[in-house]
C-alpha cells in the first residue's frame, strides 16, 4: 500500500483527536476546530484531497457515518423526558423548529441562487442545534437553571427531530425529481416514509427483543447493535431508495422508548464511535470545500447568518415561550444561544453529494453555506453569550456548590450540613440504596457514574464549583478528580483517602499529582469517618468569636474532633486539608465531625 495513503489516513485521525482534545481544554465546541483544520489541510494548503484519497469509498463512508450519528442521537430521545422538562422545550422543537425552517428557507431562496426545494432543504438542515455545541457554551455562560435546562434539553431533543425533518424534505425532493406528476410524486414520497418507518420500527423491536431477553452476550451487545444499524440502513436503501436515514432514526427513537430496555452501555459505545466518526468525517468534509464556493456564498451567507441569529431564532423562541414562566431577559438569552452543529454539517454534506448525483448542480452550495452558518453561530455566540447573560442578569454567580462523588453515610451527613448553610450539593452514586437514602434526606442526587458518557450528557454542573471525591473507591475517586479538574480547576478538587491506603505500599498508590487535595487531615479516611458516624458522632457547626477562638475550639474537643469546613464572614466555603495552613478567624463558622463522648 502507498505510504502516502497510510500517512494521510493516520494524519486525519491524529488531527481529529487533537482537535477534540484542544476543544475540551478550551471549552469550545470541537466542530469549530475540526472544520478549520479540514479547510486548512484541504483547499488552503492542498495537503488533503478526500476524493483522491478515498475514491469510490467516499460516498459510502459518509452515508454509513451519518447513519450511525443519527442513530446515536435518536437513542437520547425519550418522550417521558421531554414531557418532564416543560412545555417550552416541546414548543421549541416543534413550533419553533417549523418557524425557523420557514424563515430560513424563504430567506435562502431570495438571497442565494438556489431553487425553492433546495432553499427549504437548507432551512431544515440548520434547524438542528445539538448537545455537542450547546453544552460547552453553557459551561462558559453559566446561565440560571431555567435557561440552562431549556437550552440543554432543546439541544438533545432537536438533534433527532431536526434530522428527521431534513430527511423528510430531502426524500420529498428526490421523489419529486423522479416523478413529474404530483400524484405520482406524493406516492413515491409516501413509499419512502412508509418504508423508513416500518423498517425502523420492526428492526428496533427485533433488536430490542433480543437484547431484553439476554439472547446476545454482554460482550457482543455493542458491536451487535452497530452491525444491526448498518445492516438496517443498507437493507432499507435496497428496499426503497433514500429511506435508510429515516429507518435508522426511527429505529433509535423506538429503542430509546421501549420498556425495560437498558441502552446506557449501547449509548456509551455509540457516543465513543460517534466521536471518532465525527472527528474524521468533518475534517474530510471541510477538506472538500472549494474556496470559490466559499467566496460565492460570501455576503449572502453573512446576511443569512444575521437573519438566523437576529430574526429566525428570536421569533421561534418568543413564539414558543408564550405563556411560560420565563422572564423577558431569560427569553433573550435563550434566543441568542442557538449554535448549529454536527448533525447539520453531516447531513448537508451527504445530501449535497446525493443531490449532485441526481442532477441538482447547485446542491454543491449546501456544504459551504452550512459551514458558514456553523462557524458563524459557534464563534459569535460562544464569545458573546457570557457577556450578554451577565448584562441581562441571567448568569449564575460564581459557583459555590459542591459535586460529591459517593452518597454513603459520610457524604450524606456532610451534604446535609452544607445544605443547611445554603451551599448547593449534588451527590453521585451508582448504588441505588445510597441514592435512595440521600433523596429521603432531601438531597439532590445523580444515580450513575459521574465519569460516564451519560453523566457528560445529563449531569448538571450549574452552580457547582468544587469536587469532593469520597466514594471510598480509590479508582473511582481518582478518575473523578482527573475528569473534573478541567471543570472546577485544580485548586477546587478534593479527595478523601480510602482505608486501604494505610496498609498499601507507595508503589501501588496513585501519584498525588493526579489526585485532589487530601481531605480534612492525615488521620481522616473513609472507613474512620464512617465508623465514627455509626457510633453516633455528628457533624456540627460552631461559630467562633473573639472570646472563643479556633485554638480554644480545638482544645475543647481534643482528639474527638475532625474539622472539615470553614465559612468566612463573606459566606465563602473553605476546606480543611491534610498539612493545610488555614487559620479561621473570629465570626467564622467551623463545620466538624465531633465524637459523641466529646460533645459536652
pLDDT per position as a tens digit, 376-429: 888 888 888 888 998 998 887 777 888 999 888 889 999 999 999 889 999 999
CA distance 231 to 405: 40
How confident is the model at residue 203, as a pLDDT?
Answer: 92
**Do 410 and 496 touch, CB atoms closer than 8 A?**
yes
Contacts of 176 (CB under 8 A, 6+ apart): 117, 185, 189
* Interval 12-19 mean pLDDT: 87
Q: Which residue has the higher pLDDT, 30 or 314?
A: 314
How confident is the model at residue 353, as a pLDDT?
Answer: 81
In 3D, which of 445, 429, 528, 523 has the Cα closest to residue 477? 429
Residue 198 has pLDDT above 90, yes or no: yes
How confident is the model at residue 426, as a pLDDT?
Answer: 92
CA distance 289 to 36: 11
Distance spanning both ends of the chain, measured CA to CA: 81
H/E element holding 535? none
CA distance 32 to 268: 23
CATH annotation of 401-598: 3.40.50.720
Which pLDDT tens digit goes with each residue over 499-512?
766 665 555 565 56
How confident is the model at residue 319, as a pLDDT?
Answer: 93
426-435 contact pairs (CB < 8 A, 24+): 426/401, 426/402, 426/459, 426/460, 426/464, 428/403, 428/404, 428/455, 428/459, 429/405, 429/471, 431/407, 434/406, 434/407, 434/408, 435/407
Grid look-up 425495560 returns 260
Confidence of residue 84 (pLDDT cuts 50, 70, 90): low
Is pTM beyond 0.85 here?
no
- Give the residues across from 446 on adjacent strands: 428
Domain with CATH 3.40.50.720 in the chain: 401-598
Domain with CATH 1.20.1530.20 in the chain: 3-391
Confidence of residue 272 (pLDDT cuts 50, 70, 90): low
Residue 1 has pLDDT above 70, yes or no: no
- Mean of the per-residue pLDDT values of the chain: 82
CA distance 321 to 318: 5
For every residue of 3-64, DSSP letters joined together read: HHHHHHHHHHHHHHHHHHHHHHHHTS-HHHHHHHHHHIIIIIT----HHHHHGGGHHHHHHH
CA distance 598 to 594: 7
Which pLDDT tens digit goes with each residue over 87-127?
888 889 889 999 999 999 999 999 887 888 899 999 998 89
Contacts of 546 (CB under 8 A, 6+ apart): 586
CATH annotation of 3-391: 1.20.1530.20
* Interval 312-330 mean pLDDT: 91
* Interval 246-251 mean pLDDT: 86
Confidence of residue 306 (pLDDT cuts 50, 70, 90): very high
Amino acid at each position: 500500500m502507498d505510504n502516502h495513503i497510510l500517512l494521510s489516513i493516520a494524519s486525519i485521525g491524529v488531527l481529529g483527536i487533537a482537535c477534540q482534545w484542544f476543544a475540551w481544554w478550551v471549552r469550545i465546541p470541537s466542530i469549530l476546530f475540526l472544520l478549520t483544520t479540514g479547510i486548512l489541510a484541504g483547499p488552503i494548503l492542498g495537503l488533503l484531497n478526500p476524493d483522491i484519497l478515498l475514491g469510490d469509498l467516499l460516498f459510502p463512508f459518509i452515508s454509513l457515518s451519518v447513519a450511525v450519528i443519527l442513530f446515536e442521537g435518536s437513542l437520547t430521545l425519550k418522550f417521558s423526558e421531554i414531557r418532564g422538562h416543560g412545555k417550552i422545550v416541546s414548543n421549541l422543537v416543534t413550533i419553533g423548529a417549523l418557524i425557523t425552517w420557514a424563515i430560513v428557507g424563504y430567506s435562502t431562496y431570495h438571497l442565494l441562487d438556489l431553487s425553492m426545494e433546495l432553499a427549504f432543504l437548507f432551512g431544515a438542515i440548520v434547524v438542528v442545534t445539538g448537545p455537542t455545541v450547546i453544552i460547552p457554551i453553557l459551561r462558559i455562560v453559566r446561565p440560571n437553571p431555567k435557561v440552562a435546562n431549556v437550552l440543554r434539553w432543546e439541544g438533545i431533543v432537536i438533534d433527532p427531530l431536526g434530522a428527521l425533518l431534513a430527511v423528510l424534505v430531502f426524500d420529498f425532493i428526490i421523489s419529486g425529481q423522479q416523478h413529474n406528476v404530483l400524484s405520482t410524486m406524493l406516492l413515491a414520497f409516501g413509499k419512502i416514509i412508509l418504508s423508513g418507518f416500518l423498517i425502523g420500527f420492526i428492526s428496533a423491536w427485533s433488536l430490542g427483543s433480543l437484547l431484553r431477553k439476554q439472547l446476545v452476550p454482554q460482550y457482543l451487545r455493542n458491536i451487535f447493535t452497530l452491525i444491526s444499524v448498518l445492516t438496517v440502513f443498507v437493507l432499507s436503501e435496497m428496499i426503497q431508495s433514500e429511506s435508510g436515514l429515516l429507518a435508522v432514526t426511527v429505529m433509535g427513537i423506538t429503542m430509546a422508548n421501549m420498556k425495560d430496555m437498558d441502552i446506557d452501555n449501547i449509548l456509551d459505545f455509540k457516543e465513543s464511535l460517534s466521536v471518532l466518526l465525527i472527528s474524521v468525517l468533518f475534517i474530510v468534509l471541510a477538506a472538500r470545500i472549494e474556496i470559490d464556493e466559499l467566496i460565492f456564498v460570501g455576503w449572502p451567507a453573512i446576511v443569512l447568518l444575521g437573519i438566523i441569529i437576529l430574526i429566525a431564532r428570536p421569533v421561534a423562541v418568543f413564539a414558543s415561550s408564550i405563556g411560560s414562566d420565563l422572564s423577558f431577559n431569560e427569553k433573550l438569552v435563550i434566543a441568542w444561544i442557538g449554535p448549529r452543529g454536527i448533525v447539520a454539517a453531516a447531513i448537508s454534506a451527504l445530501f449535497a453529494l446525493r443531490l449532485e448525483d441526481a442532477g441538482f448542480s447547485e446542491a454543491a452550495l449546501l456544504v459551504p453555506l452550512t459551514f458558514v452558518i456553523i462557524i458563524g453561530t459557534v464563534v459569535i455566540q460562544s464569545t458573546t453569550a457570557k457577556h450578554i447573560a451577565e448584562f441581562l442578569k441571567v448568569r449564575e454567580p460564581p459557583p459555590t456548590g459542591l459535586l460529591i462523588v459517593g452518597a454513603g453515610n459520610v457524604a450524606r451527613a456532610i451534604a446535609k450540613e452544607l445544605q443547611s448553610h445554603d451551599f448547593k450539593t449534588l451527590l453521585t452514586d451508582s448504588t441505588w440504596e445510597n441514592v435512595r437514602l440521600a433523596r429521603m434526606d432531601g438531597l439532590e442526587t445523580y444515580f450513575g457514574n459521574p465519569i460516564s458518557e451519560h453523566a457528560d450528557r445529563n449531569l448538571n454542573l450549574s452552580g457547582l464549583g468544587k469536587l469532593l471525591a469520597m466514594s471510598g473507591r480509590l479508582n473511582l475517586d481518582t478518575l473523578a478528580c482527573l475528569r473534573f479538574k478541567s471543570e472546577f480547576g485544580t485548586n477546587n478538587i478534593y479527595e478523601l483517602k480510602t482505608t486501604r491506603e494505610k496498609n498499601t505500599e507507595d508503589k501501588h498508590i496513585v501519584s498525588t499529582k493526579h489526585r485532589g487535595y487530601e481531605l480534612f487531615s492525615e488521620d481522616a479516611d473513609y472507613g474512620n469517618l464512617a465508623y465514627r458516624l455509626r457510633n453516633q458522632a455528628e457533624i456540627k457547626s460552631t461559630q467562633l468569636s473573639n472570646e472563643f477562638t479556633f485554638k480554644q475550639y480545638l482544645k475543647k474537643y481534643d482528639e474527638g474532633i475532625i474539622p472539615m469546613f470553614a465559612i468566612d464572614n463573606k459566606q465563602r466555603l473553605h476546606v480543611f486539608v491534610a498539612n493545610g495552613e488555614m487559620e479561621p478567624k473570629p465570626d467564622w463558622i467551623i463545620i466538624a465531625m465531633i465524637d459523641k463522648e466529646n460533645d459536652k
